[in-house]
A and B are shown apart, each in its own frame.
Chain A
């Protein structure tokens, strides 16, 4: 039973990170129907920004927790700026182009950013400091659930609650939902759709940056390629839950996290990705719109 609990909690932690990144995919897709392939790179850039910030702050002798908070903040600001700029450069000029064009542009941007970080940093894995301290009250549970995992779970939960409040209760959140449901009508009531798209990219990027910092600190090393794997996994989570659906992205993240965790624990860790993507294939065959997605007819 203890082993099961451990796997369950491990899956929950992992899933919450997938959910956090998947939200960015699903929100962007909901508004402009684009799979934003640079999203994983935003996550990677967030991790690197946090690493640089943390290294500097360590020199000044700050404690771990304050470094974590400040590094996350810098990463969030930096990644959001990247997300905003990428949309303006790579997607906005293609707003009225055929759907394939922005997709290719996204893949190109993703390759560009990976190689930019490769050149600016290094191709090797670089160590990332463990920024989450060992909490004393977690000592008794350490063998099944670490302090770092607790921190991940708490942070992602808080961030997701804030996000849903923004989307539910603020005027901008309402405009985001309206734009996702009927873009032309949103324009007809006076929504500046370009602004809403920018806001969506900024929010999605901020979430990815938080995910990047948390995971980097938990795993302890990063390189230019981590965004690709994380991006593919989170994209899988978004599709599992039903792309375009915000609760779907969260659910998809957890389902994927548990699948991987239990598959690793009960079968073999070599098969982690096999199970993740087998699940994706099965969902696509039997429920193409995803768990919470609605199959809709093409709008005319």
Chain B
């Protein structure tokens, strides 16, 4: 579904991605783990077209997307929940959701999908007219995921959804991610620092170090891999 071929991305003179190749298959949850500064967020931003790659290819459904503008990429079916949630602070919860559906014109479908995300996260229903900036961290994460779903993505990119949240909320959010994957058949690309959590949710995983992919395997095998255990699982 999504294929990265030798992707290189730089910020000025600093090369953040030193030629990475990965593949995401339709219907799966894959995770990209690695320490701070390994290049995980850059990978997602390169896919979304915010920091376009300097070299290499990104193919989505067989079509090259690495030269497309971010809005074109969204219209092809890739949505991102960025690190730190990035809720529009002064827009209401409803308006944030409508922004998620910005490129859609089917009013009825949008209304239906708003009901769907309110079903996933009932607490947002009570907050619908509240400004996004006044929500708690957990609620903001729920809103950020809901907003991304409003675009009806085929591929959902999630950057550190567990960051700074209480364990109970984290569990709730990961349950929903799995539910979206099975119910909506949405493919999920999950970036996490919490490797244990991510590998338990995912089918396959990639390990990233210093802008390179160093390991790739099924999630359960990565969970029992000695090096991964030592470096990322704290065992």
Residues on A close to B: CB < 8 A? 171, 174-175, 177-178, 181-182, 184-192
Contact = CB atoms under 8 A, between A and B. Distances in A.
Contacts of B80: 188
Contact of A178 (B69, B70, B88, B151): B88
Given A181-B90, A184-B50, A174 B98 contact: yes
Given A177-B91, A178-B91, A187 B50 contact: yes
A188 B50 contact: yes
B42 to A, nearest CB: 13
A190 B74 contact: yes
B140 interface: no
Given A174-B98, A188-B80, A181 B70 contact: no
A178 B75 CA distance: 18
Given A171-B102, A177-B88, A189 B74 contact: yes
24 contacts: A171-B98, A171-B102, A175-B99, A175-B102, A177-B90, A178-B88, A178-B95, A182-B88, A184-B82, A184-B86, A185-B88, A187-B71, A188-B48, A188-B70, A188-B86, A189-B79, A189-B100, A189-B102, A190-B71, A190-B102, A191-B71, A191-B99, A191-B102, A192-B71
B37 interface: no
Contacts of A182: 86, 88-89
Nearest to B48: A188
A188 B74 contact: yes
Given A177-B90, A181-B90, A188-B70, 15 more contacts: A171-B98, A171-B102, A174-B95, A175-B99, A175-B102, A181-B89, A187-B70, A188-B86, A189-B79, A189-B102, A189-B151, A190-B74, A190-B75, A190-B102, A192-B69
Nearest to B147: A189
Contacts of B91: 174, 177-178, 181
Nearest to A168: B95
B12 to A, nearest CB: 11
B231 interface: no
A186 to B, nearest CB: 8
Contacts of B147: 189
A171 B95 CA distance: 10
A253 to B, nearest CB: 22
Contacts of A185: 82, 86, 88
Interface string B66-82: 00011100110001101
Contacts of B50: 184, 187-188
Contacts of B75: 190
Most chain B C-beta atoms within 10 Å of own C-beta, residue among A181, A185, A191, A192:
A185
B22 interface: no
Interface in B146-183: 147, 151
A191 B88 CA distance: 13
Contacts of A174: 91, 95, 98-99
Contacts of A187: 49-50, 70-71
7 closest cross-chain pairs (CB), A and B: A190-B74, A185-B86, A190-B103, A187-B70, A190-B71, A181-B88, A192-B71
Interface in B90-126: 90-91, 95, 98-100, 102-103
Contacts of A181: 88-91
Nearest to A185: B86
A189 B152 CA distance: 11
Contacts of A175: 99, 102
A166 to B, nearest CB: 15
Q: Which of B50, B88, B91, B100 gathers the greatest number of chain A CB atoms within 10 Å?
A: B88
Contacts of A186: 88, 99
Contacts of A171: 98, 102
A293 to B, nearest CB: 13
A170 to B, nearest CB: 11
Nearest to A179: B88
Interface string B115-149: 00000000000000000000000000000000100
A191 B151 CA distance: 12
A188 B50 CA distance: 8
A32 B69 CA distance: 19
Interface centre among A171, A175, A185, A188 (most CB of B within 10 A): A188
Given A177-B88, A181-B90, A182-B88, A190 B151 contact: yes
Nearest to A187: B70
Interface string B14-39: 00000000000000000000000000
